[in-house]
Amino acid sequence: MTSVDESLAQKFSELWPHLNERQRRLVVGAEAKALGRGGVTAAARAAGMSRPTVQRAMGELAEPPETIAPARSRRPGGGRKRTVDLDPGLVEALEALVDPDSRGEPESPLRWTTKSTRVLADALTASGHPVSHVRVAEILHSLHYSLQGNAKTAEGAQHPDRDAQFRHINAQAKSRLRRGLPVISVDTKKKELVGDDPAYKNGGKEWQRKGDPVAVGVQDFPNPAIGKAVPYGVYDIGANAGWVLVGDDGDTAAFAVQALRRWWQSMGSEAYPNADRLLICADAGGS
């Protein structure tokens, strides 16, 4: 499939849930006319329509608007039955395919899937539910799914016990929270360059006289005498409270331990005076 076909298919899949059948025909006809030579074939392929249907739509566009009844998309009784009416098990089969790869909370009103409509349509057709990718997109929209781009979440092959590991961590955290014991999550935050000579640019803004911005260095080379500010965050899950220590000696294991020690001395020991153990949740970062 060419990039033109893919672009049209994407456009059509987003528009279809908002248009009736006549409006869809007119949109496809208009796209075919705009593409010129070969436009009928490209538009028909992207929309999942037949070439004669697209050609008739182009003829409808040439008619004066007042001769077309706006309230009806086709003759009474005309047209095929809806795919979901002809195949009552289609929606259930599609949900079964999408659900294992859904993202977000199950009760969330907004759900999305990482599988493309073409992959889903091929899988449904192979399992005895012949359907086009356009129909799949329509059904997904009606089920409150939306199309999403890729996200950097893949970390290579997963350990077979990955799910069990996270369930164990979650159970441990809940057990300690019920007993009033501290459970914290730790992480190094975004490092920042510090120094006044030169001053470094950041993404924030502040009020200044027009035409008189704060001057900063052209290059963001770190000052070897100062280095970078390293914020280390500690989040107390039970108290829903955060704490940050800022250092400048690098994101080392010693710095992480010192941050935990200071959090306990300044906040943790007061909040949990009778605690005899501490659960620390951390990712697989450098520190």
Q: Which of 147, 156, 161 is nearest to 119 (CA)?
A: 147
SS3 per-residue string spanning the chain: CCHHHHHHHHHHHHHHHHCCHHHHHHHHHHHHHHHCCCHHHHHHHHHCCCHHHHHHHHHHHHCCHHHCCCCCCCCCCCCCCCHHHHCCCHHHHHHHHHHHHEECCCCCCCEEECCCHHHHHHHHHHCCCCCCHHHHHHHHHHCCEEECCCCCCCCCCCCCCHHHHHHHHHHHHHHHHHCCCCEEEEEECCCEECCECCECCCCCCCCCCCCCCCCCCCCCCCCCCCCEEEEEEEEECCCCEEEEEEECCCCCHHHHHHHHHHHHHHHHHHHCCCCCCCEEEECCCCC
List CB contacts of 211: < 8 A, sequence separation 6 or more.
Answer: none
Residue 268 has pLDDT above 80, yes or no: yes
pLDDT tens-place string over residues 228-262: 778 888 899 888 888 888 877 666 788 888 889 99
Residue 163 has pLDDT above 80, yes or no: no
Q: What is the pLDDT of residue 265?
A: 92
Q: What is the pLDDT of residue 278?
A: 93
Residue 148 has pLDDT above 90, yes or no: no
Task: Kindly report the length of the chain.
Answer: 287
Question: Is there a cis peptide before residue 198, judged by omega within 30 degrees of 0?
Answer: yes
Q: How confident is the model at residue 9 (pLDDT cuts 50, 70, 90)?
A: confident
* One-letter amino acid of 90: L
How confident is the prediction for the chain on average, in pLDDT?
Answer: 75
Alpha carbon of 125 to those of 49, 117, 172: distances in Å? 17, 12, 44
Do residues 270 and 210 touch, judged by C-beta distance below 8 A?
no
Residue 10 has pLDDT above 90, yes or no: no
Provide the phi-psi class of 217: left if phi over 0, else alpha when psi is between -120 and 50, else beta: beta
